[in-house]
Amino acid sequence: MCGIFGYVGNKTNAATIVFEGLKRLEYRGYDSWGIAVVPTASEKSKVKSEKLINTIVVKKKTGKIGNANVNDMPSSSFAFGHTRWATHGGVTQTNAHPHLDCTGRIALIHNGIFENYEGIKKTLVKKGHRFTSETDTEVAVHLIEEYRKTMALAKAVQKAFNDMAGLNAIIVIDSDRNQLIAARNGSPLVIGFGHQENFLASDAAALLPHTKQVHFLEDDEMTIVGHKGIMIFDAKTGTKIAPKVQKLTWSTRQAEKGTYPYFMLKEIHEQPDIIADISETMISPAKRMTEVIRKSQGTYLVGCGTAGYACMAGSYLFSKVAKRHVNWAVGSEFGYQLNFLTKKSLVMALSQSGETIDILESVKKAKNNGASIVALVNVLGSSLYRMADHKTLIGAGPEKAVASTKAFTAKIAYLVLLAYGLAGKTKEGQTVLMHAVSSGKKVLSSLSLARIQKLASRLKNTEHIFVVGRGISYPASLETALKIKEISYIHAEGFAAGELKHGVIALVEKDTPCIVFAPNDEAYGANLAGAMEMKARGGFIVGISHKPHEVFDYYIPVDDACEATIIPNVIVGQLLAYYLAIEKGLDPDMPRNLAKSVTVK
Ligand code: G6P
């Protein structure tokens, strides 16, 4: 969702530093952006106009940053910026952040939803405050302005923040002092410690070119960030808190595109190496985790979107390999069906970002019921990571394309290790993963890529695509359909192949594209039967399988990787979605309306 980047230091190009920071946050998904700077003293003195003295200079735009620049902004050592994903109020320049108070001396950016803003706005309007936008955010800056009349700025920010209902992160600047004042509850904020300069960001990866020393703000923590020092305190009580400085493990290079045209293609290609890495290096954490699962009475997997489909695949793996019943649920629904949880229950929450609000809320409720929490996340220091009793980093490296790819297969690889570990067959699990590595590499060979791209070129103008599979190929179908929808905007539906006869088949007509997963498992025959039923109604059958079959009109070979075949199978789905987007001239990294980490409900 919204990206936040703030700088205070001894450099004088703060606007550019913030602008570049926002560009690194573009992947989160946004529809407008804005930057505010407080001009340096020399800059102010150059300007005759009284108006600029003690005021903040703001630049806001709708749409993507693209080729924009901030060369027209004054030199400054102090600035902050925001990429907005609209919630309250349409996508307009006025609604973009930062928002200013009536005097133009206080600016604020915000991530989250200020749930009780309406009543507060009415009171402020009565007191004479003038609003220019339709946002909930603007209310917060006027509220601070109001409190500021009788107290110091930090106190005013603290009081206003505590008045705000909902899950929010705010950063405030004022033109009189070079300090970023911020508070969070729910929405993430990270402080970056530099030399004679400090930073604030919504996402640690955005800080990598500047520093690896960070403090992740906890819920209800507030901070004052100056260029020489940082103070952290409890937003409710005002008690001082010592920073917990952590070192980021990702490299700047990992977070860059390199020679690939898009992050998504880069991330798809990274998968075999990540899986190989997990198979070699994750044995000890997996062993510890299997003991935790073994001791629990009732294990539940929860995730949202792609992570949800990884959970679903996990339930098949645990059943088949470990003979263990593990339920799964999507994060947004789990909260309504967890009353049965007890102190012996274990909730395994899967999330790339570790910030997805539906997961965090479910996990909080599960904790209230006494359940233990296992987190499988990709981002160190993320909220879920900090909240969990047992945590594992899946080690996929920074994932920047909005549509998740490598985090999905990394989670599956880890679940494969856990399932085999529970069955007392860790070595076999490793072997199976290495089959997935070689099969994945073959899918990524130039011959195979050309085949998938040719298929995309054939399907690019289609309106609907159906994807079917049984057993673990059912979550593979759902994930493939999700990828196609997310980045090519073609309507794609994944189904359990056995459900075809119960309705879906009514939609199949001449040339309807039907993708069928038919790996070498117990569902092979039944998957082919589904393919035949669709073919009999005129469907154009795309078979993804270890061997060709006459029912396939188009065949994409995927070498068998035993219980881990879902990994190369889904890589095919990811590539098809990617090439469909390319064929349609779309940007696969930043699909419309979507955000990388969904931090609002
Ligand atoms: C968003 C992203 C998806 C992702 C989902 C869950 O919707 O666009 O790609 O699968 O959130 O994210 P998480 O970070 O919890 O895995």
Distances (CA, A) of 566 to 315, 483, 507, 572: 13, 15, 26, 10
CA dist., res. 80 & res. 108, Å (int): 9
Neighbours of 13 (CB within 10 A): 17
DSSP string, 283-296: HHHHHHHHHHHHH-
Predicted pLDDT at 52: 52
Residue nearest to atom 8 of ligand 1 (CA): 596
Predicted pLDDT at 54: 56
pLDDT-based confidence at 253, cuts 50/70/90?
Answer: confident
Q: What is the mean pLDDT of residues 576-584?
A: 98
CA dist., res. 154 & res. 190, Å (int): 19
Neighbours of 357 (CB within 10 A): 22
pLDDT-based confidence at 212, cuts 50/70/90?
Answer: very high
The pair phi, psi for residue 58, each rounded to 5°, is: -120, 140
Q: Which residues line ligand 1 (CB under 6 A)?
A: 304-307, 351-353, 356, 359, 402-404, 594, 596-598
Q: Phi/psi class of residue 321: alpha, beta or left (left: φ > 0; alpha: ψ in -120 to 50)?
A: alpha
Predicted pLDDT at 180: 96
* CATH fold match for the domains 258-443 and 445-587: yes
CA dist., res. 357 & res. 2, Å (int): 13
CA dist., res. 243 & res. 386, Å (int): 15
Q: Ligand 1: which of 264, 380, 598, 601 to mutate, most ligand atoms within 8 Å of CB? A: 598
% residues pLDDT > 70 (the chain): 98
pLDDT-based confidence at 45, cuts 50/70/90?
Answer: low
- 409-454 tens-digit pLDDT: 999 999 999 999 999 999 999 999 999 999 999 999 999 999 999 9
pLDDT over 60 (residue 230): yes
Q: What is the mean pLDDT of residues 487-504?
A: 92
Q: Give the homologous superfamily in CATH for domain 258-443.
A: Glucose-6-phosphate isomerase like protein; domain 1 (3.40.50.10490)
Nearest ligand 1 atom to alpha carbon 404: 9
3-state secondary structure 204-247: HHHHCCCCCEEEECCCCEEEEECCCCEEEEECCCCCEECCCCEE
Predicted pLDDT at 48: 52
| Residue 573, token pair as written in the block | 């789905």
Distances (CA, A) of 411 to 307, 416, 423, 467, 566: 8, 9, 18, 22, 12
CA dist., res. 341 & res. 371, Å (int): 6
Q: Is 247 a catalytic residue?
A: no
pLDDT over 90 (residue 541): yes
Considering only residues 37 and 382, tell me which one the structure prediction assigns the higher pLDDT. Answer: 37
CA dist., res. 4 & res. 230, Å (int): 18
Ligand 1 center to 302 CA (angstroms): 12
Q: Phi/psi class of residue 254: alpha, beta or left (left: φ > 0; alpha: ψ in -120 to 50)?
A: alpha
Ligand 1 center to 304 CA (angstroms): 6
Q: What is the mean pLDDT of residues 328-334?
A: 94
Neighbours of 582 (CB within 10 A): 21
Q: Is 596 a catalytic residue?
A: yes
Predicted pLDDT at 28: 78
- 498-523 tens-digit pLDDT: 988 898 889 899 999 999 999 999 99
Ligand 1 center to 267 CA (angstroms): 15
Is the distance from CB of 281 to CB of 392 less than 8 angstroms? no
Active-site residue, selected from the candidate residues 2, 304, 311, 562: 2
Q: Which CATH number fits domain 445-587: 3.90.1300.10, 3.10.450.50, 3.40.50.10490, 3.20.20.80?
A: 3.40.50.10490
Q: What is the mean pLDDT of residues 5-11?
A: 96
Q: What is the mean pLDDT of residues 479-494?
A: 97
- 143-188 tens-digit pLDDT: 999 999 999 999 999 999 999 999 899 999 999 888 999 999 978 8
pLDDT-based confidence at 46, cuts 50/70/90?
Answer: low
Q: Which CATH number fits domain 3-248: 3.30.70.260, 3.30.465.10, 3.60.20.10, 3.60.60.10?
A: 3.60.20.10
Structural domain spans, the chain:
3-248, 258-443, 445-587
Q: How far is CA 366 from the centre of its chain?
A: 22
Q: 352: exposed, middle or buried (C-beta count within 10 Å: 0-12, 13-18, 19+)?
A: buried
CA dist., res. 520 & res. 562, Å (int): 7
Q: Phi/psi class of residue 300: alpha, beta or left (left: φ > 0; alpha: ψ in -120 to 50)?
A: beta
CA dist., res. 464 & res. 579, Å (int): 16
pLDDT over 90 (residue 468): yes
The pair phi, psi for residue 569, each rounded to 5°, is: -60, -45
Q: What is the H or E stretch that residue 543 is in?
A: strand 540-545
Considering only residues 49 and 542, tell me which one the structure prediction assigns the higher pLDDT. Answer: 542
Ligand 1 center to 434 CA (angstroms): 27
Nearest ligand 1 atom to alpha carbon 306: 10
Predicted pLDDT at 433: 98
CA dist., res. 25 & res. 65, Å (int): 11
CA dist., res. 197 & res. 190, Å (int): 15
pLDDT-based confidence at 109, cuts 50/70/90?
Answer: very high
pLDDT-based confidence at 597, cuts 50/70/90?
Answer: confident
Predicted pLDDT at 599: 75
Active-site residue, selected from the candidate residues 411, 441, 485, 596: 596
